[in-house]
Homo-oligomer: A and B are copies of this chain.
Amino acid sequence: MVATITKPITLEQFLQNPETEPASEYIDQQITQKTIPKGRHSRLQSKICQEINQVSETPKIAYAFPELRCTFDGRSIVPDIAVFLWQNIPFLENGEIPDNFDLTPDWIIEILSPDQNAHKVIGKILHSLRHGTKLGWFLDPSDRSILIFLPEQQPLLMANSDTLPVLDPVSLKLTVEDTFNWLKMS
């Protein structure tokens, strides 16, 4: 066995590295690469984005971005879905979307992959909540349940016909069942 000594790098150095596929994240001076998304993850990610954006884009309420790098408080994370209230999106002067989002998402949505570590994902969500995120969803497709995180509150484990809380004022009514039923496509 060969021990590799890796020098801790700074956030600035990390951000100068080319993007990897899947994306890498910088948390507590450590770089970890996200897991390669599989079928269920991909389906839920795209469908949830679509549902949120369908009701939120035209009235300029909010927008859900898949795999968007968000850099804040010395960390650089790439949530599965980062939802921003419209007024918080850092549009460029020409109205276009910037490449860098140096702020906390208003709503963070993570979907557990089979090989992923739940504690690590929860750590990411809790850290975001401590820095301004108003709502976190953590979906486990295998358990058909969703952990709901709200600032300074005990999380809730929702299942079956429980109605999911959404970011105010996004007008979306969804139960846990509705969400996982999207996995059934044929």
A→B interface (CB under 8 Å):
112, 117-120, 122-123, 126, 129-130, 138, 140, 142-143, 145, 147, 149, 151-157
Contact = CB atoms under 8 A, between A and B. Distances in A.
A140 B157 contact: no
B123 A157 contact: yes
A117 B143 contact: yes
B122 A147 contact: yes
A138 B126 CA distance: 15
Contact of A154 (B112, B120, B140, B151): B151
Given A119-B118, A119-B147, A123-B145, A152 B155 contact: no
Nearest to A138: B119
A138 B118 CA distance: 11
Q: Copies per complex?
A: 2
- The CB with the most chain B CB atoms within 10 A, among A117, A119, A145, A149, is that of A119
A149 B129 CA distance: 16
Contact of A119 (B130, B143, B152): B143
Given A112-B118, A119-B147, A154-B154, 9 more contacts: A117-B140, A117-B143, A118-B119, A119-B140, A123-B145, A126-B155, A126-B157, A151-B154, A154-B155
A122 B154 contact: no
A122 B155 CA distance: 9
Nearest to A140: B119
A84 to B, nearest CB: 22
